[in-house]
Amino acid sequence: MTDPAETTVTLRDLRRCFDGRVPAAIATANGEGVPNVTYLSVVHEVDAERVALSNQFMSKTSRNLAENPHASLLLIDPVTFSEYRLTLRYERTDRRGVVFERLRDDVDTVAALTGMRDVFRLRSADIFRVEAIDVIVEQQDAPGLVSRQQAVGLTACAELAARMSRCADLGGIVEVALAGLDDLLGYRHSSMMLLDEQGRRLFTIASHGFPAEGVGSEIDVGEGLAGAAAEACRPVRIGGLSQMRKYSQAVRTAYEREGAIGPGRDIPLPTLPDTESQLAVPALVRGELVGVLVVESPLPAAFNPDDEAVVTMVATLIAQMTQIERATVDAAEHAPPATKPPLPASQECVHVRFFAEDGSVFLDSDYLIRGVAGRVLWSLVQRRAATGLSEFAIKELRLDKSLALPGFRDNLDTRLVLLKRRLEERHAPIQLERCGRGRFRLEVAGELHLESNE
């Protein structure tokens, strides 16, 4: 603990308070001195003497400032929980411009995380001059509290790039990248999502370091941190999720009580039960979105702009190698189809149920996967049951009209990798094995029994 009276603090020293997303509190008073206190979604440093506050639910605060331009702002460090009081004087309100856009990006991120995009809308950015900064409580950082266990350096980045370049297929590229983020760069928990064929949803193709893999989970573009990064095509990070959840839940409860919105649904993504920090980075090639790379940490304010740069580099490598792999697979599709006889099967029955409405596939009564990957699996088991063949080329699948693939960039290769990983994760009696460029083999541990609602 330090003596607050001996501490001189500048706005630059408080940047973690802005990045940490612990909601700040602003106090104002009207012309008669009647006080009002409310919470803020976002506070930004404008320059060495000014801050910008997000104006969303501050009708009474705005009325007070019109009568009395003085305010007091309480900021809390998300790591040490040090407290700082800023004495402010209102200067102006921005409804466009650089500062407004910066605040709107952060407010949109909060909205995406909480499923309240229709509620969390920035009305304006209120600009205040900081007249004084008082330290209420200040505590020192614990040694190594927000640093990763391994320093990130050019040598580690080069080694990760070399490992990825030796991979033979998309599944290997993503798996090696996520493992390298852990053992080379110190990001223990990560996941990779790819953009679907219509460019409207993201699906998880691989994860690392989580209790559950979550392969096959999906979200809309714009939903959650990964969806926000995909929609804006820029890195997005949050550093105080537990505090943000409390704040957003309070707002959500108030709106649900008024009937303005309905309860949201959980986002079925791989995540830590106690995650505090998340960083989502878009994977781009020639300005085109391929997917989103996400890293997490149980520590508050664990990521900074340097982490954005490192994770962006890895995401770019994944995107570029994904495009190269797709091009290589397309070139290999001119090979003749395989005619290898099926593997011997046991007498155990493998019951596959298919629902055409959304492409859902169940093995016995257990849900497996849906969408394009589900329709792909149903096509393969039908082909296996009808012909006895177990090997196929991706080119053959593209001719199957039942898959409803788009004419441009169908992402079929990534869907097959997703399906392969999902089957492995579930230890299913049906498995997919790559047997050459653009070729897969379907292995079934029993006699197929197919059922469809078509």
- 21: Cβ contacts below 8 Å, ≥ 6 apart: 42, 78, 110, 238, 239, 240, 241, 243, 244
On whether the CB atoms of residues 244 and 119 are closer than 8 A, the answer is no
Domain ranges of the chain: 4-137, 154-332, 349-452
Percent of the chain with pLDDT over 90: 27
Asked whether the predicted pLDDT for residue 273 surpasses 90, the reply is: no
Closest CA to 99 of 55, 46, 153: 46
pLDDT at 147: 46
At 412-431, the pLDDT tens digits run 778 888 888 888 888 889 99
> Does the model's pTM come out above 0.75?
no
From 64-73, 184-193, 386-395, the region with the lowest mean pLDDT:
386-395
On whether the CB atoms of residues 285 and 190 are closer than 8 A, the answer is no
CA 441 to chain centre: 32
- Average pLDDT for 295-312: 88
- Site of tokens 């197929």: 448
Asked whether the predicted pLDDT for residue 115 surpasses 70, the reply is: no
Asked whether the predicted pLDDT for residue 82 surpasses 80, the reply is: yes
pLDDT at 245: 52
Per-residue pLDDT band for 117 (boundaries 50, 70, 90) equals low
Q: Which residue has the higher pLDDT, 12 or 90?
A: 90
Per-residue pLDDT band for 113 (boundaries 50, 70, 90) equals low
- Average pLDDT for 331-340: 44
Percent of the chain with pLDDT over 70: 79
pLDDT at 19: 67
- Average pLDDT for 228-237: 89
Per-residue pLDDT band for 377 (boundaries 50, 70, 90) equals very high
Q: What is the CATH number of domain 154-332?
A: 3.30.450.40
- Domain 349-452 matching CATH 1.10.10.10: the answer reads yes
Distance (Å, whole) CA 264 – CA 330: 41
First to last CA, the chain: 69
On whether the CB atoms of residues 151 and 163 are closer than 8 A, the answer is no
pLDDT at 51: 94
Distance (Å, whole) CA 237 – CA 305: 9
Q: Which residue has the higher pLDDT, 395 or 92?
A: 92
CATH class name, domain 4-137 = mainly beta
- Average pLDDT for 236-241: 73
- Average pLDDT for 236-244: 66
Mean pLDDT, rounded, of the chain: 80
pLDDT at 128: 96
Closest CA to 139 of 74, 57, 77: 77
Per-residue pLDDT band for 5 (boundaries 50, 70, 90) equals very low
On whether the CB atoms of residues 350 and 430 are closer than 8 A, the answer is yes
| Secondary structure class of 267 (helix, strand, coil) | coil
Q: 3-state secondary structure string, 339-408? A: CCCCCCCCCCEEEEEEECCCCEEEECCEEEECHHHHHHHHHHHHHHHHHCCCEEEHHHHHCCHHHCCCCC
Strands 439-444 and 391-393: antiparallel
Per-residue pLDDT band for 109 (boundaries 50, 70, 90) equals confident
pLDDT at 267: 36
Per-residue pLDDT band for 255 (boundaries 50, 70, 90) equals very low
State the sign of the Cα–Cα–Cα–Cα dihedral 191, 196, 202, 203: negative
Distance (Å, whole) CA 400 – CA 387: 15
pLDDT at 338: 42
- Average pLDDT for 57-67: 86
From 170-179, 286-295, 299-308, the region with the lowest mean pLDDT:
299-308
DSSP letter for 141, please.
P
Helix, strand, coil content of the chain in percent (nearest 5): 35, 30, 35
With vertex at residue 99, the alpha carbon angle to CA 94 and CA 31, rounded to the nearest 5 degrees, is 40
Asked whether the predicted pLDDT for residue 339 surpasses 70, the reply is: no
pLDDT at 219: 87
Asked whether the predicted pLDDT for residue 410 surpasses 70, the reply is: no
Per-residue pLDDT band for 1 (boundaries 50, 70, 90) equals very low
